[in-house]
Amino acid sequence: MKITKDLYQGSLALLTDFYQLTMAYAYWKSGKAEEEAVFNLFFRKNPFQGGYSVAAGLDYIIDFCRNFRFEEDDLRYLREMQNTDGSPTFESAFIEYLQNMEFSCDMEAVEEGTVVFPHLPLIKVKGPLIQCQLLETPLLNIINFQTLIATKAARIVYAAKGDAVLEFGLRRAQGIDGALAASRAAYIGGCASTSNVMAGKLFGIPVSGTHAHSWIMSFDTELEAFKAYAEAFPDKCVFLVDTYDTINGVKNAIEVGKMLREKGKEMIGIRIDSGDLAYYSNIAREMLDAAGFPDAKIVASNDLDEQIITSLKMQEASINVWGVGTKLVTAYDQPALGAVYKLAAIKTEEGTWEPKVKVSQQSIKINIPGIQNAVRYSKNGKAIADMIYLEGEDLSNTQFMIIDPVDPTKRKKINTNGLDQEILLKPIFIKGQKVYERRDIHQIKQNAERNMGMFDKAHKRFVNPHIYPVGLEEKLYDIRTQLVFKMKNYDGA
């Protein structure tokens, strides 16, 4: 396992909430451990008050599941756990059960880079109840963060309207894996590169960078600093011009740019990291153009996000490349996605599947019961609607009605004639064996780009985005309603 073996040097089976283990013990104790169950992972609201999300994290989950076993030191730790009266928390026969446990679930998931929406199942796990349960916390941990960051990156890249976005977040990221996973997800979401060298090595993401103010400050003058950098990297000069005086910095960059040109080299550009980025980039552009450097790029950084980039675009700032750190990798201003993992069905002793629902006062919190999948209908590459349906539904029918899971007055008829359809959940594991061919990071990024292209700009705007239709197929909707009535004991319903 590339991440965990490098960073944690061991199994990750204990990377879970304690209550998963107490439930696991109790399932085992009550003879339910091997009952078959189905769980779904989904979220209820797009982050950043946006109109979409970009799924990410599956590759970590594949790694996690393939290495899902309790190793000797994990078992020792559990064996030594005690209740307050000094008795062992877990019986030794249970520890042995864990020792012999092998991941044997079926798993389906949406591919990384897929644009996703509230209520869609992102991952479906079918298998022994105890295993499905133990997976809850790590699956959520992985998907919640990476999907959040891939979404933030997609928004920032969308605001940049085709300009490259360089991810600079490592120094401000939430710890070590927070940084690595963020760099990975940011690349999936559309960033061109990362400054995080370890992420480059682990994931094969392009690495790039300029230089810091300290480089300039370590010389007597800015000009000397630029010259020395040009000596070291004649093909990679992006001069940071704002250490002392931005306009003078641009003059110095031009002077060194001319010296490079005499040697047959071209400077790539300049970076501005403070002050009014519209004002200074426009002056810098004029100066560079007038001096014969119309192709020199202007990189901007300094607490950027999609809102500031949008504003700078509106101001017609002359910025070609955006360096974005803190607000990208910390998902400013939404700290978590809020995806959940809920039991959807249990196999009865007779071998039939019983759908399960959690009733809530808030209708948005009532999960979708039963064994589901989802299909995306599109026409000429443009997505039209997603339908969540029960496994076994005949998709060759041409007429469907989808019903909003929260507001049943919102409905949409779909005539599938002439539409393309894509089943969103793909098989990843069957009986614990991986059947999915993993995509490399560049393929995943391309998938995200293709997906973003399928959705109208009305869904992608930052303010009051138009809601993309995702609904329950009618029969699923009815089953859910009846089940809620039954659980609430509404007579005659």
Ligand X SMILES: O=P(O)(O)OC[C@H]1O[C@H](OP(=O)(O)OP(=O)(O)O)[C@H](O)[C@@H]1O
Ligand Y SMILES: Nc1ncnc2c1ncn2[C@@H]1O[C@H](COP(=O)(O)OP(=O)(O)OP(=O)(O)O)[C@@H](O)[C@H]1O
The residue behind tokens 């599941």 is: 65
Start-to-end Cα distance in the chain? 51
The partner in contact with residue 172, picked from ligand NIO, ligand Y, ligand X, none with C-beta cut-offs of 5 to 8 angstroms by kind, is ligand X
Catalog residues that contact ligand Y under the rule CB under 6 A: 274-278, 302-304, 308, 311-312, 315
Query: Shortest gap between Cβ of 403 and ligand NIO (angstroms)?
Result: 48
Query: Shortest gap between Cβ of 196 and ligand NIO (angstroms)?
Result: 9
Picking from 104, 117, 93, the residue whose alpha carbon sits closest to that of residue 45 is 117
Among 301, 310, 372, 373, binds ligand X (CB under 6 A): 301
The partner in contact with residue 276, picked from ligand NIO, ligand X, ligand Y, none with C-beta cut-offs of 5 to 8 angstroms by kind, is ligand Y
Q: Is 303 in the site for ligand X (CB under 6 A)?
A: yes
Query: Shortest gap between Cβ of 333 and ligand NIO (angstroms)?
Result: 20
Q: Which residues contact 254 (CB under 8 A, 6 or more apart)?
A: 287, 288, 291, 293
Q: In terms of CB distance, is 97 or 215 closer to ligand Y?
A: 215
The residue behind tokens 């940084």 is: 179
Concatenated DSSP letters for 460-473? H-SSSPPPPPEEEE
Q: Is 113 in the site for ligand NIO (CB under 6 A)?
A: no
Distance, CA of 50 to CA of 464 (rounded, Å): 8
The partner in contact with residue 278, picked from ligand Y, ligand X, ligand NIO, none with C-beta cut-offs of 5 to 8 angstroms by kind, is ligand Y
Q: Is 302 in the site for ligand X (CB under 6 A)?
A: yes
Picking from 387, 359, 327, the residue whose alpha carbon sits closest to that of residue 489 is 359
Provide the mask over 248-287, with x wherever binding to ligand X is found by CB under 6 A and - wherever it is not: -------------------------x--------------
Provide the mask over 341-370, with x wherever binding to ligand X is found by CB under 6 A and - wherever it is not: ------------------------------
Q: Is 324 in the site for ligand X (CB under 6 A)?
A: yes
Distance, CA of 252 to CA of 254 (rounded, Å): 5
Backbone φ and ψ for 46, nearest 5 degrees, come out as -65, 145
Query: Shortest gap between Cβ of 271 and ligand NIO (angstroms)?
Result: 6
Query: Shortest gap between Cβ of 452 and ligand Y (angstroms)?
Result: 24
Concatenated DSSP letters for 384-433? EEEEEEETT--TT-SEEEEE-SS-TT-EEEEE-TT-EEEE--EEEEETTE
Taking every pair of Cα atoms in the chain, the longest distance, rounded to a whole number of angstroms, is: 89
149 to 178, contacts with ligand NIO by CB under 6 A?
A: 168
Stretch that binds ligand X, among 34-42, 166-174, 178-186, 424-432 (CB under 6 A): 166-174
Each as own residue / partner, the long-range contacts of residues 311-317 (CB below 8 Å, 24 or more positions apart, any chain) are 312/277, 312/278, 312/281, 313/159, 313/160, 313/161, 315/278, 316/278, 316/282, 317/277, 317/278, 317/281, 317/282
Q: Is 57 in the site for ligand NIO (CB under 6 A)?
A: no
Q: Is 323 in the site for ligand NIO (CB under 6 A)?
A: yes
Query: Shortest gap between Cβ of 375 and ligand X (angstroms)?
Result: 39
The rounded radius of gyration (Å) of the Cα atoms in the chain is: 26
If you ran DSSP here, which 8-state letter would residue 474 be given? H
Which residues of this chain interact with ligand NIO, rule CB under 6 A?
Answer: 168, 195, 209-210, 301, 323, 325
Which parts of this chain interact with ligand X (CB under 6 A)? 168, 171-172, 273, 301-304, 323-327
